[in-house]
Amino acid sequence: DAGINAEDLASFHEHLNKSTRVLALLGAGLSASSGLPTFRGAGGLWRTHDSVSLATPEAFNADPSLVWQFYSYRRHMALQVQPNPAHYALAKLARKMPGFQALSQNVDGLSQRTDHPPGQLQLLHGTLFEVRCMDRRRCGHSETNFVDPIVPALAIPTSGIDPTSDEARQAVSAQLQAKQQGKDLDISDVKVPLASVKTHDLPVCPKCKQYLLRPGVVWFGESLPEQVLDNVDEFMNAGRVDMIMVIGTSAKVYPAAGYIEDARAKGARVCVVNMDENDKPAGGWKKGDWFFKGDAATLVPRLLE
């Protein structure tokens, strides 16, 4: 059975059964089989843009319309898909083990749509469904917002697009057919022309009515939410950590990836679940680590059953 060696599974279960303080560092690979793309590697492109390059304050300031279309599309996609068996298995572990904390880098809201206790889910990079005023210092407005599209101008186009080439025309007409069957145009398809959205049609802060709203996610160069950092520190400092599971993440983004070494320093063994054996834990492999290769949605429920 792919990805699971019986001996490794037995030693993992033996260790889990005597564990009381466990962490799971979660990444985009956890939601891949729900149908959401990851950031790096295959599928890490949005149209012609590297997804990572759109996740910066500089990208937003340079082209808020493009960056909002990217996030609006991601909000829409996240609302279309469902949590998968791995999200549910992690929620079940959380309910069973009070000393379990999931440290999620994902902003897709899928873990929150299971019965995962919120106090055992740390959202390291925020969420797509919280939006806040660009003027954090003076205005500071933030709100939970599931409205899709968040403003009419960010609706995924269904008509009125002006295709500039035959290729675009074909892509759009194929997609318009899909639309008639109840599916949306896929604006991640580079052949589908992006609507031009004027800055003044983007979501504006309802409180100060002056600045744009932005997605409540953590972009490069920005600090992680203070309360979340404090919660993780508190957990790390409260004693020995038995294990950290590293699920569907390339573990290249800090400070998130640094939690693997922090947990090791507290005695934790490391269990990696990933499709790609080259995505090692930050800091490399150590004796006593486990590696389970394959789809998190299949492997995590087996590991946690």
Residue nearest to ligand BJW (CB): 29
Nearer to ligand BJW, 130 or 179 (CB): 130
Strand pairing report for 243-247 and 22-26:
parallel
Please indicate whether residue 125 is annotated as part of the active site.
Answer: yes
What is the smallest separation between the CB atom of 107 and ligand BJW, expressed in angstroms?
4
Measured CA angle at 72 (ends 146, 168), to 5 deg: 145
Q: Report d(CA 234, CA 298) in Å as an integer.
A: 32
* Residue numbers belonging to the annotated binding site: 133, 139, 205, 208
Q: Report d(CA 114, CA 31) in Å as an integer.
A: 13
Nearer to ligand BJW, 33 or 176 (CB): 33
Q: Report d(CA 273, CA 143) in Å as an integer.
A: 34
Nearer to ligand BJW, 145 or 191 (CB): 145
Name the strand (E) or helix (H) holding 131: strand 126-133
Nearer to ligand BJW, 211 or 219 (CB): 219
Q: Residue 131 corresponds to which tokens in the numbers above?
A: 């939006």
Instruction: Kindly calculate the radius of gyration of the chain based on its CA atoms and give it in whole angstroms.
Output: 21
Task: State the residues that interact with ligand BJW by CB under 6 A.
Answer: 27-29, 32-33, 38-41, 44, 52, 55, 105, 107, 125, 217-223, 248-250, 252-255, 273-276, 279, 295-296
Nearer to ligand BJW, 19 or 33 (CB): 33
Q: How many CA atoms lie within 13 A of 116 on its CB side?
A: 27
What is the smallest separation between the CB atom of 99 and ligand BJW, expressed in angstroms?
24
Under DSSP, the state recorded for 102 is: E
* Residue numbers belonging to the annotated binding site for Zn(2+): 133, 139, 205, 208
What is the smallest separation between the CB atom of 209 and ligand BJW, expressed in angstroms?
26
Name the catalytic one among 76, 87, 116, 125: 125
What is the smallest separation between the CB atom of 94 and ligand BJW, expressed in angstroms?
19
Residues 270, 243: contact at Cβ < 8 Å?
yes
Contacts of 205 (CB under 8 A, 6+ apart): 133, 134, 135, 139, 141, 211, 212, 213
Q: Is 142 helix (H, G, I), strand (E, B) or coil?
A: strand
What is the smallest separation between the CB atom of 180 and ligand BJW, expressed in angstroms?
31
Q: Is 82 helix (H, G, I), strand (E, B) or coil?
A: coil
Give catalytic residues, as residue numbers: 125
